[in-house]
Amino acid sequence: MPHAELLRILIVDDEPLARNRLREILVDIAIQFPTEVVGEAGNGIAALEFLRDHAVDVMLADIRMPGMDGIELAGHLGAFPAPPAIIFTTAYDNYAVQAFDLNAVDYLLKPVRAQRLLTALQKAHAAPPANHELLASLGRAVRGGGRTHLCCHERGRLLLVPVGEVLYFKADLKYVTARTVDREYLLDESLTHLESEYAERFIRLHRAVLVARTALAGFEKAAGDDAEAYGWALLRGVPEKLPVSRRQWVPAKAVMAG
């Protein structure tokens, strides 16, 4: 980063007063460490949208935010060619703070002291890349489940796919596709990983298919000896049928019944 330029900062917090407070102390330390607040965002989704079109050096991100929290936001940063360094802020998340200490991740406790902010910003240049294992376990602790969104690159653009809208995941040779009512997205994910992350929401129908429990509309037996599938699952909202393997036939039907 060129030293002549100011450090560009994005403040991410759902509380306007908390964002305001960070702005104030950034002004207070401007003599020692001049910075420029290039934007504010109310949650992770808004922050990612901002990052699409703006260059940012450091992001100050709250851990708990509605829509998309700071932990998940950090996990999606890898999708950018030059991701900003991230410094977490939190009022009280004991579990996260302990994990940050162990893994040398920088964080600030709210209310934030100007001196602490200064030290964190001075170190922020050399922020190590996010540790995905750590973020996944913190995510489970903070929001009690998997990520709320998945990343999809399309012609150089970053798209966010809300997991709540996904009807099924299907693995092809190289990619996993996520299907929503409107369209399909190509993801850079593995089916096994998705299955364990969203065990409550999706069930496996077939070696290559995970379906949202709520999307299941019915089942039909395959005619004759179909090598590809033992039966087919019908879905709400989309016309296509999904193959069900012999092994998953009974558990899948049990989900519908329950």
Partner 1 sequence: MASIGHFPATHPLPDWRNFGVMLRVLLGVNVMALAAALIQVPEPSGWVPRYVEMAALVEPLLLLALGLLAAVRDLLRRMPLGLGQLAVVMLVGGLAFAQNLFWQSLGFSDSGNALRPALLAVAASVVLLGYFELRARAFSPAQAEARLAALNARIRPHFLFNSLNAVLSLIRARPQQAEAALESLSDLFRAAMRDPGEMISLADEIALGEQYFELERLRLGERLAVDWQIGSVSLNLPIPPLMLQPLLENAVYHGIEPSPEGGTIRISIEQRGDELWIAIANPATGAQQHASGNHIAIANIRERLALYYDLEARLEIEAGEQSYEVRIILPCRTPNS
Interface with partner 1 (CB under 8 A): 14-18, 20-21, 24, 42-43, 64, 66-67, 91-93, 109-112, 143-145
- Between 21 and 253, CB nearer to partner 1: 21
- Looking at this protein, which amino acid is placed at residue 60? L
Beta strands across the sheet bearing 231-235: 216-221, 231-235, 242-244
- Between 114 and 256, CB nearer to partner 1: 114
- For residue 201, the tally of other CB atoms under 10 A from its CB is 18
Q: In the bound complex, what is the minimum distance in angstroms from residue 146's beta carbon to partner 1?
A: 13
- Between 92 and 175, CB nearer to partner 1: 92
- Tell me how far apart the alpha carbons of residues 182 and 198 are, in angstroms, rounded to a whole number: 21
- Looking at this protein, which amino acid is placed at residue 222? A
- Between 13 and 57, CB nearer to partner 1: 13
Q: In the bound complex, what is the minimum distance in angstroms from residue 144's beta carbon to partner 1?
A: 4
Q: In the bound complex, what is the minimum distance in angstroms from residue 220's beta carbon to partner 1?
A: 29
The tokens for 183 are: 């369209």
Q: In the bound complex, what is the minimum distance in angstroms from residue 92's beta carbon to partner 1?
A: 4
Say if CB 175 and CB 186 are below 8 A apart.
yes
- Between 67 and 83, CB nearer to partner 1: 67
Say if CB 207 and CB 247 are below 8 A apart.
no
In the numeric block, the tokens 């908390």 are attached to: 18
- Between 78 and 111, CB nearer to partner 1: 111
- Looking at this protein, which amino acid is placed at residue 251? P
In the numeric block, the tokens 């902010």 are attached to: 117
Q: In the bound complex, what is the minimum distance in angstroms from residue 45's beta carbon to partner 1?
A: 8
The tokens for 247 are: 């092994």
Q: In the bound complex, what is the minimum distance in angstroms from residue 100's beta carbon to partner 1?
A: 16
Task: Point out which residues pair with 244 in neighbouring strands.
Answer: 231
